[in-house]
A = this chain, B = another copy of it.
Amino acid sequence: MSRLNATHDPNLQSWVESANQPDTDFPIQNLPFGVMRSPNSNEPSRIGVAIGDQILDLSLCYKAGLLQQLPENLQIACAAPNLTQIMMMGSEATSLLRNHISQLLRRNEQPQEAQATLISMSDVDLLLPTTIGDYTDFYASIFHATNVGKLFRPDNPLLPNYKYVPIAYHGRASSIVPSNTAIARPQGQIKKPQASAPSFEFTQMLDYELEVGFFIGSGNELGQPIHLDKAEEHIFGLCLVNDWSARDIQAWEYQPLGPFLAKSFATTISPWVVTLEALAPFRCSALERAENDPAPLPYLSSSLNTEIGGIDIKVEVLLRSAQMRAVGMTPFRLSCGSFKQMYWTVAQMLAHHTSNGCNLRSGDLLASGTVSGPEKDSQGCLLEITQRGTQLVQLPTGEMRSFLCDGDEIILRGYCEKQGHVRIGFGECRGTILNAVKNSIFTP
């Protein structure tokens, strides 16, 4: 676990004035990493660090000699086209780099060359942070698992393995897209309740899932499990994940091998990777288990994990329909909750993942599964909120929603707040559903 250090000092201010505003996601205490490129350009992508409404371009910092105090291989990694090299160097290197950047950006310490290494966030496209080798999606909210289970098995919502096994499935890495990528409504096999056979058509039950993801920093060799208390050393940082889901396709295809095409058409991630170090002030105990719950098996149990394995990240989902957009309405909040409500911590997920010897590689993405809390307004997907489409949500325009309509934009937000600390934000994860233009391959 990262300890508090000088980079967390709430009194730090930056010479980038927008970073000193109380409502910014990106104060100098945050310093999340991302990858950017000028719009419509063919130039290589570059690594940047968000600061207020600006980005510190690490590639330009390297060229300007502003990183010379760092080890040479770390300097070179800062000029790479994505974060993979930095991730590979592990958590100590990331900490060293973050500390150096904090100093570069501090008020009164502005290097002469530094202003020229800033780029306005609105002037670039934000891309995927790294080449994602494998993507694994967990199911770590017991509230989500119970709510979903109730819809299918009212008498027995939670399966017997849930409280022992951090349940997960392998997701599709190729279709992970950065925020602001339009999402095409997928077609698939759908079996309607009264139909004798399935038909192939556009999903009518398109849903989002609010999740928190984490990127692997240094990996492990095949056959070498990672101990629970070492797990966080292998985590580079966190982002928001929208695991788009077609519930009607899912219901028909998922047995016996789990979700496949219902999920693989797209997964959206937020562009900024917030390091575990930046989140150090917001660590909390793991979710307390109910009195009758079994203790985790020893490989998933440690006092460190119990005491500060949780992270109190407030997460919320907003929707803006095409009609709302047309009349200039602000997005409507569908839910808000906290990542501290997860049944399994990030360290438990990672330790479980490697417990059979499975190797994780730098840049792999693990996601938590839908973040739902115990309250009705903290449910992280429409399947739960609308009870499988039976209890409609009313938007401020009077429009009703069971699932997502064409033109709907989903916005995920995440942030940490705590007395005595500066607010740390994740930025946004956005995606809009494209009009369902029928594909000529499948329709006459």
The answer to whether B172 and A298 touch across the interface, beta carbons within 8 angstroms, is: no
Counting CB contacts under 8 A, is A282 at the interface?
A: no
A260-B170 in contact (CB<8A) = yes
**B-side contacts of A222, CB under 8 Å:** 174-175, 177, 184, 265-266
Q: Check A225–B441 contact: CB distance below 8 A.
A: yes
- The answer to the question of A223 belonging to the interface, with a C-beta cut-off of 8 Å to chain B, is yes
Whether A65 is near chain B, meaning CB under 8 Å from some CB there, is: no
- Asked whether, in the complex, the Cβ of B188 is within 8 Å of the Cβ of A358, the reply is no
The answer to whether A111 has its CB under 8 Å from any CB of chain B is no
Complex CA distance for A277 and B225, rounded to whole angstroms = 42
B161, B167, B173, B198: the one within 8 Å of A164 (CB): B198
Contact of A364 among B174, B186, B265 (CB under 8 A): B174
| A197 surroundings in chain B (CB, below 8 A) | 164, 294
**Chain B residues with CB under 8 A of A353:** 261
Mark the stretch among A121-129, A246-254, A382-390 that contacts chain B.
Answer: A246-254
- Rounded to whole angstroms, the CA-CA distance of A165 and B261 in the bound complex is 10
Further 16 A-B residue pairs, CB within 8 A, beyond A174-B364, A186-B356, A265-B357: A161-B191, A168-B260, A170-B170, A170-B260, A172-B358, A174-B360, A175-B222, A175-B359, A187-B225, A188-B355, A200-B297, A200-B298, A226-B441, A254-B256, A256-B258, A258-B259
Q: Determine if A431 is an interface residue (Cβ-Cβ < 8 Å).
A: no
Taken together as a complex, chains A and B put the C-alpha atoms of A159 and B199 apart, in Å, by: 17
Number of copies: 2
Q: Which size bracket describes the interface of A in this complex?
A: 35 or more
Q: Which residues of A contact B (CB under 8 A)?
A: 133-134, 139, 159-161, 164-165, 167-175, 177, 184, 186-189, 191, 197-200, 222-227, 246, 249, 252-262, 264-266, 294, 297-299, 352-353, 355-361, 364, 439, 441-442
Q: Which residue in chain B gives the minimum CB-CB distance to A152?
A: B256
- Residue of A189, A260, A262, A265 with most chain B CB atoms under a 10 A cut-off: A260
Tell me the complex Cα distance, A259–B134, Å: 15
Write the nearest CB–CB distance from A221 to chain B, whole angstroms. Answer: 11
Given the known inter-chain contacts A177-B222, A198-B297, please indicate yes or no for A187 contacting B253, CB distance below 8 A: no
Q: How far is the CB of A1 from chain B (nearest CB, A)?
A: 19
Of the candidates A168, A258, A262, A442, the one having the most CB atoms from chain B within 10 angstroms of its own CB is A258
- B residues in contact with A225, CB < 8 Å: 187, 439, 441-442
With A165-B253, A222-B266, A252-B161 in contact, do A246 and B297 touch (Cβ < 8 Å)? no
Point out the residues of chain B lying under 8 angstroms from A133, CB to CB.
133, 173-174
Q: List 19 A-B contacts (CB under 8 A).
A: A161-B255, A165-B189, A167-B253, A167-B257, A167-B260, A170-B264, A174-B359, A174-B360, A175-B358, A184-B222, A189-B297, A200-B355, A222-B266, A226-B441, A257-B259, A258-B259, A261-B355, A265-B357, A265-B358
Instruction: Contacts A297-B200, A356-B261 given; indicate if A174 touches B361 (C-beta within 8 A).
Output: yes
Q: Across the two chains, which residue of chain B brings its CB closest to A297?
A: B200
Instruction: Kindly state the separation between the CA atoms of A441 and B302 in the bound complex, as whole angstroms.
Output: 13
Nearest B residue to A223 via CB reads B184
| Residue of A226, A253, A294, A364 with most partner-chain B CB within 10 A | A253
Q: Which residue of B lies closest to A191 (CB)?
A: B161
Asked if B352 contacts A261 (CB within 8 A), the reply is yes
> Is A159 within 8 A of B260, CB to CB?
no
